[in-house]
Structure 1
């Protein structure tokens, strides 16, 4: 799994039913959140998309997915999963736009990163 320098602030939402992703080498990540303080002068304070180590637009997602899929062995390509790691405060409209771009790229296996909800919050 490739290490990425996170350039967006991201606090994952909480969930009660979580499962770990198998074969992390087949997972491609899309990060969504407000740019870190050192990038806010250039990129503002609205939530942004990060693909690998770069800020990107939703329009860049399709070519990014094609590129990531091409880097896999042919027999592994159908097993590729896209994991959306979005900040808990991220507007749902951005997530919807990302999902539509993934659909156009035929990336239909999507997971959402979350952290375990503690029992105090759940009850």
Structure 2
């Protein structure tokens, strides 16, 4: 009689066969939708000047950004609104040509004429610093320059 003993019927086990599929779909979703910040700002978020005629940049992968403003760590970098940030470090105007040439080496030769240099300068920055940057950009033939600004509130 022990051969035909009835088994206790309990809750069936949860089917986990589709769990890896769900995990990979979520992982893929977050990998596709997340954007990584290219640089960490070492200068304070610049208060951009306002402008009336604004045009958006078309291909942001061909844009090299130079930040000009006040350093967030004045003990290490010094005080003043004339600090230049290239990539993740505070630099001088003399290092701008190497920065641009490094960016040119990373893209295809046929895209070099479409490269744009964007200057995000705080409105309290010295114009002399921006002119120094422009002269160094002229030395390496980086003549497409964009000055970032905010829309004029009056329009």
Do the structures match in fold with TM over 0.5? yes
Mark the runs of 5 or more structure 2 residues left unpaired by the alignment.
Answer: 1-35
Greater Rg by CA: 2
Superposition CA RMSD, Å: 1.3
SS at match of 1:78: helix
Partners of 2:37 and 2:107 in 1: CA distance: 13
Paired residue total: 118
Kindly report which structure 2 residues correspond to 1:95-106, keeping only aligned pairs within 5 A, or say none: 95-106=130-141
Match of 1:13 among 49, 58, 79: 49
Does residue 81 (structure 1) correspond to residue 112 (structure 2)? The answer is: no
In the TM superposition, structure 1's runs of 4+ consecutive aligned residues that sit over 4 Å from their partners are none
Q: Does 1:28 align with 2:28?
A: no
TM-score (norm 1): 0.92
Q: CA deviation at 1:78?
A: 1.0
Q: Which has the higher contact order (CA 8 A, sep 6+)?
A: 1
Q: Which runs of 5+ in 1 are unaligned?
A: none
TM-score where L is the length of structure 2: 0.73
2:37, 2:111 → 1: CA distance? 17
Q: Distance in 1 between matches of 2:123 and 2:97?
A: 24
Counterpart of 1:64 in structure 2 is 99
